[in-house]
Amino acid sequence: MAIFDAHNIGYTFANGDTLFSNISCTMDKHRIGLIGRNGIGKSILSAILSGEISPSSGKVSAPSNFSIFTQERLTELEHGLTIAEYLEKHHILNALKHVQMGSCLEKWFEIIDQDWELESQLKQDLANLGLPPEPSFLCNELSGGQFTRLALWKRFRQSAELLILDEPSNHLDNTAKQWLIESMNVFSGAILLISHDRELLNQVEEIWQLSTTGLQVFGGNYDFYESQKYIEQQSIDKKLVNINRQKKQLDAQTQRNIEKAQQRAAKSNKLRRRGSQGKMLLNKMKESAENSLSNRSKLSQIKKTQLQCRERQLTTQQDRWKSQTFNVSSCQQTSNTRVLYLDGQLAFGTKAQLNLQLFSKDKIHLQGPNGCGKSTLLQTLSGKLSLSQGDVSTTSRFCYLDQHLTIIDQTRSVLDNFCLHVNGNSECSARTVLAGMGFRGDDVFKYAESLSGGEKIKLAMLIVSHHPKQPFLLLDEPDNHLDIDSKAILANALNDYQGGFLLVTHDCAFAHHSGVQQSYCMDHQGLTLTTPHDKD
């Protein structure tokens, strides 16, 4: 039985721009992976398929019971809620407290029902999740990874017919990601997974790829999709080579027909001058030759139009696989000087004494479990937080890219945001840089608030990487939300970056491809240098 059916659905924004159209699909597998480039419309499509929002056109037979997890909603958290309130268990805990204090009111017993062990069980569950085992703990004091895990756990416990997971592995450390995979495997309902995480996508039965050409279904996991993508790329390349050859042959044949017609016309004119043939016969021969050339020209033009149409179709399909470009500023760093010295204790996270030196060309990977204080360390280095004790001194400019991308002004356009931070760029050069990461044409005039999570990451990275003086970058999980191709492009750009950076990410492969020279492991015991290197 199908979980949902969609027929010819489309979505158009209020300003008249069409996001996608004529999408038809049926979910008859229990694990589907939805992939596509940033901004292509995956989140909106999933919301339509679940029935949360209505399509602009077409029909959807949506499931009656569904639950959605999205990273965007995590940023809208009701600040001040406790874990118990977020889990909607606070009323039961409150009733238990009244009974423990001696109250015998019937309403408390009705609220508790069979949940007499809720408090102890909830504390144990939170501890198993690696969270503070206290239901009264405030959600906004959890790290991004800790709250993500709590939010996912809440949804896995719901009896939903369909669970939509939109980028669920963002912010999760490796232990938490393995927990996520295990939770997905034991979940009894269907899962529509929107992700760029290969490991997660290899858990599904079918891959749906959304692109500018529509929705394409691949019957297998991500590894199968990759193999089919390669085969399709090779096939498109061969077809384009063949079309190009046919166009050249057609042009050559057209030229030969013109030359033959010119030769016949010259011969006819010669006969006309000699007077050896009757004028009526010569006129008939001329008319016949002209008609023949006209017919051949029309046939050639029809064939050429057909070839051009097919070429456009294949080029559009090929564009689905084209890589974007991410160029960073080419300013050269001439020396490798110390830019920071820290000796002290963080305000949040680990309570260990930290000692850290940074040099202007250092490319450092900082990893560690959720909640240990990685983001706190970056905020401290950027000057946004103070140490609880100790000293920190800097001799250079730092550029901090936080998880919430506060560097971006949501009320400004893509182009205005870029020009605001990157001085000295003409509009033409700014648009060239933005076009390299997919912000083409009128896309540069989109307001930042309308961008997808991945598009915002791209814009933020373009801003911080194009500062003319190439500051030391503090990057807090910049690979979150990025599609797989964009992630590889960003890694190459960081590898080429002439300045230094401190990169927080749970993806060791991404860190390696970004050109990191040192790795620090951070936990509640402090900082441990795992891969040292010599200074220049």
Query: What are 26-48's pLDDT values in tens digits?
Result: 999 999 999 988 888 999 999 99
Distances (CA, A) of 463 to 399, 471, 488, 502: 10, 11, 18, 17
Coil, strand or helix at 373: coil
278 pLDDT exceeds 60? Answer: no
Tell me if 29 sits within 8 A of 206, measured CB to CB: yes
pLDDT over 70 percentage in the chain = 88
pLDDT band at 436 (very low <50, low <70, confident <90, very high): confident
pLDDT band at 84 (very low <50, low <70, confident <90, very high): very high
Coil, strand or helix at 485: helix
Q: What is the pLDDT of residues 138-187, one digit of tens each?
A: 988 888 888 999 999 999 998 899 999 999 998 888 889 999 999 999 99
Phi then psi for residue 192, to 5 deg, are -105, 110
Average pLDDT score, the chain: 85
Nearest Cα residue to 370 out of 217, 522, 180: 522
Mean pLDDT over 229-239 rounds to 84
477 pLDDT exceeds 50? Answer: yes
347 pLDDT exceeds 70? Answer: yes
pLDDT band at 363 (very low <50, low <70, confident <90, very high): very high
Q: What is the pLDDT of residues 492-508, one digit of tens each?
A: 888 888 889 999 998 88
The pLDDT of residue 377: 93
Return the DSSP state at 40. Answer: S
Tell me if 218 sits within 8 A of 207, measured CB to CB: yes
Lowest mean pLDDT, pick from 88-92, 95-99, 205-209, 236-240:
236-240
Distance CA 415, CA 225 (A): 35
Nearest Cα residue to 489 out of 361, 365, 328, 329: 328
For residue 511, the surrounding DSSP H or E stretch is: helix 508-513
What is the torsional sign of CA 487, 492, 498, 500?
A: positive
pLDDT band at 329 (very low <50, low <70, confident <90, very high): low
Lowest mean pLDDT, pick from 235-239, 408-412, 471-475:
235-239
351 pLDDT exceeds 50? Answer: yes
Tell me if 412 sits within 8 A of 485, measured CB to CB: no
218 pLDDT exceeds 90? Answer: yes
Distance CA 375, CA 476 (A): 7
pLDDT band at 532 (very low <50, low <70, confident <90, very high): low
pLDDT over 90 percentage in the chain = 42
Nearest Cα residue to 194 out of 64, 29, 71, 12: 71
333 pLDDT exceeds 70? Answer: no
For residue 61, the surrounding DSSP H or E stretch is: strand 57-61
302 pLDDT exceeds 50? Answer: yes
Helices (DSSP H) in 82-190: which residue ranges?
A: 83-86, 90-100, 106-112, 118-128, 144-156, 174-186
The separation between CA 330 and the C-alpha centre of its own chain, rounded to angstroms, equals 26
Q: What is the pLDDT of residues 253-269, one digit of tens each?
A: 888 877 777 777 666 66
Beta strands in 306-394 (DSSP E): 338-345, 354-359, 363-367, 389-394
Residue carrying structure tokens 């927080």: 504
- pTM here is 0.72
Return the DSSP state at 482. Answer: -
Q: What is the pLDDT of residues 507-531, one digit of tens each?
A: 888 899 999 999 999 988 889 988 7
Amino acid of residue 13: F
Total Cβ atoms within 10 A of residue 12? 14
Helices (DSSP H) in 320-397: which residue ranges?
A: 374-381
